[in-house]
């Protein structure tokens, strides 16, 4: 396959392009090299430095391409109202412009990098009343250290369950809203252009090449940076927030599997898949695994500390079901969090 990879100089995009090339495919690399993501000295070797928002201007690059793997996006939570235009411009307009250029060039296959953030809170059940959709946690409860979602009917803490792809979207940040918009633009393109697409909803991605201490960093990188400063990683809430951490090498493999699946997919095919390890971990466990990977143990003075702090927009639990991707893409993660997060403590990061 000849695959155009947007965001190819980024953390995930670079891994996808390398995985494609290792499998004998050709990767056409495109990245705008945003300074906040790549720093001032980004390596543009073999990269077309172009903006997806202006894809109509470089539509000739799409000729002869079999599929597009769209990784380019402004990421991070987007916690300020002032962040909204940036997410709408890079993610929403960028995707719409790219899809229009693809149609003009006759390219009708797309793999889209989406995110678990489209779900908002995860899936919950009450032992007495069954499935529940809790409202956002109140500031008063969080101030009091009551971090769990509670049953709206009886008030007892809800148990988390695995989120499947048919769950109702509930984006709760600028970034989340933009990722869901990307999925919607892609869905409209599939119908109008007689195309085929796959949206991959990444969970918490980590691994070598992850950005260090930028708005693009994940919590695992932040924990590692604290340890490198000889500081204990600070774990918010009570550390019991459940997540799924998936290694970037597995994410790259999932993209190649998705690309292979759409080559012969029927027109109008449009499917979303969770991309996750399938092994839930708490945020406190993540901090402890990274700490152990550096040789830090309990009582060292650098062991993770639970602070009780919180961010108002954070969700409590969101953990995915990997079954649909296993069944339909043949994708199964091979790097588990115990192995991967400990190794991550020593892997190279980007500045």
Residue 312 pLDDT = 82
Q: What is the 3-state secondary structure (H, E, C) of 295-338?
A: CCCCCCCCCCEECCCCCCCCCCCCCECCHHHHHHHCCCCCCCHH
Residue 144 has pLDDT above 70, yes or no: yes
- For residues 1 and 65, the answer to whether their CB atoms sit within 8 Å is no
Paired with 306 in beta bridges are 235
Lowest mean pLDDT among 73-77, 233-237, 308-312: 73-77
Q: Where are the beta strands (DSSP E) in 163-284?
A: 196-202, 204-206, 234-235, 242-243, 245-247, 270-275, 281-282
H or E element that contains 253? helix 248-263
Residue with tokens 């392009």: 17
Residues written for the chain: 351
Residue 299 pLDDT = 83
Residue 249 has pLDDT above 90, yes or no: yes
Residue 213 pLDDT = 66
Residue 216 has pLDDT above 60, yes or no: no
User: What sign does the dihedral 142-145-149-152 (CA atoms) show?
Assistant: negative
- Report which of 212, 208, 251 is spatially closest to residue 16, judged by C-alpha positions: 251
What is the Cα–Cα distance from 289 to 292, expressed in whole angstroms?
5
Lowest mean pLDDT among 13-17, 171-175, 221-225, 322-326: 171-175
Of the pLDDT bands very low, low, confident and very high (cuts 50, 70, 90), residue 83 is confident
Q: 122 by DSSP, 3-state: which?
A: coil
Q: Which ranges of 27-70 would DSSP assign to H, the alpha helix? A: 35-38
Question: Which positions ≥6 away from 134 have C-beta within 8 Å?
Answer: 121, 124, 149, 150, 151, 152, 158
Of the pLDDT bands very low, low, confident and very high (cuts 50, 70, 90), residue 238 is very high
For residue 109, the 8-state DSSP code is E
Q: What is the mean pLDDT of residues 109-113?
A: 98
Q: Which residues of 78-103 are buried (b: 16+ CB within 10 A; e: fewer)?
A: beeeebeebbbebbbbbbbbbbbbbb
Residue 58 pLDDT = 96
Q: What is the mean pLDDT of residues 135-154?
A: 94
Residue 336 has pLDDT above 90, yes or no: yes
Indicate the burial class of 282 (C-beta count within 10 angstroms; 0-12, 13-18, 19 or more).
Answer: middle
- For residues 165 and 201, the answer to whether their CB atoms sit within 8 Å is yes
Residue 38 pLDDT = 67
Winning range, highest mean pLDDT, from 43-52, 76-85, 331-340, 342-351: 331-340
Q: What is the mean pLDDT of residues 166-191?
A: 94
Of the pLDDT bands very low, low, confident and very high (cuts 50, 70, 90), residue 322 is very high
What is the Cα–Cα distance from 270 to 197, expressed in whole angstroms?
5
Of the pLDDT bands very low, low, confident and very high (cuts 50, 70, 90), residue 80 is confident
Indicate the burial class of 112 (C-beta count within 10 angstroms; 0-12, 13-18, 19 or more).
Answer: buried
Residue 62 pLDDT = 98
Tokens of 82: 């002032």
Q: What is the mean pLDDT of residues 117-133?
A: 94
Of the pLDDT bands very low, low, confident and very high (cuts 50, 70, 90), residue 215 is low
Residue 41 has pLDDT above 80, yes or no: no
- Report which of 131, 123, 124, 121 is spatially closest to residue 158, judged by C-alpha positions: 124
pTM above 0.85, yes or no: yes
- pLDDT higher for 182 or 297? 182
Q: What is the mean pLDDT of residues 261-283?
A: 96
Compute φ and ψ for 219, nearest 5 degrees.
-65, -30
Quick one: what percent of the chain has pLDDT higher than 90? 80
- For residues 228 and 300, the answer to whether their CB atoms sit within 8 Å is no
Lowest mean pLDDT among 158-172, 211-225, 274-288, 290-304: 211-225
Lowest mean pLDDT among 239-243, 268-272, 309-313: 309-313
Measure the N-to-C terminal CA separation of the chain; round to a whole number of Å: 32
- pLDDT higher for 82 or 322? 322
């Amino acid at each position: 396959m000849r695959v155009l990879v947007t965001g190819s100089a980024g953390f995930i995009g670079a891994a996808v392009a390398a995985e494609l090339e290792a499998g004998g495919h050709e990767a056409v690399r495109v990245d705008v090299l945003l300074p906040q993501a790549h720093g001032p000295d980004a390596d543009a070797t073999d990269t077309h430095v172009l903006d997806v928002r202006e894809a109509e201007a470089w539509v000739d690059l799409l000729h002869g391409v079999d599929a597009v793997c769209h990784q380019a996006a402004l990421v991070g939570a987007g916690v300020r109202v002032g962040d909204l235009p940036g997410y709408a411009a890079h993610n929403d307009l960028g995707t719409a412009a790219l899809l229009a250029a693809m149609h003009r060039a006759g390219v009708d296959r797309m793999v889209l990098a989406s995110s678990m953030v489209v779900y908002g809170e995860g899936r919950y059940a009450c032992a007495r009343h069954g499935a529940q959709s809790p409202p956002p946690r109140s500031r008063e409860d969080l101030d009091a250290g009551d971090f769990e979602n509670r049953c709206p009917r009886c008030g007892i803490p809800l148990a988390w369950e695995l989120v499947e792809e048919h769950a109702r979207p509930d984006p709760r940040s600028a970034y989340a809203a933009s990722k869901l918009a990307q999925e919607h633009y892609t869905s409209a393109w599939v119908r109008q252009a007689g195309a085929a697409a796959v949206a991959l909803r990444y969970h918490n991605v980590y691994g070598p090449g992850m950005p260090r201490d930028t708005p693009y960093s994940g919590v695992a990188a932040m924990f590692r940076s604290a340890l490198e400063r000889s500081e204990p990683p600070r774990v918010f809430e009570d550390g019991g927030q459940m997540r799924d951490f998936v290694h970037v090498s597995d994410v790259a493999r999932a993209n190649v599997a998705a690309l292979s699946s759409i080559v012969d997919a029927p027109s109008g095919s449009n499917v979303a898949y969770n991309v996750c390890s399938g092994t839930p971990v708490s945020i406190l466990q993540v901090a402890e695994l990274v700490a152990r990977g550096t040789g830090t143990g309990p009582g060292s003075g650098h062991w993770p500390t639970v602070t009780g702090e919180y961010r108002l927009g954070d969700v409590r639990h969101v953990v995915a079901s990997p079954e649909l991707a296993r069944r339909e893409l043949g994708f199964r993660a091979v790097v588990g969090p115990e192995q991967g997060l400990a190794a991550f403590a020593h892997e190279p990061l980007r500045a």
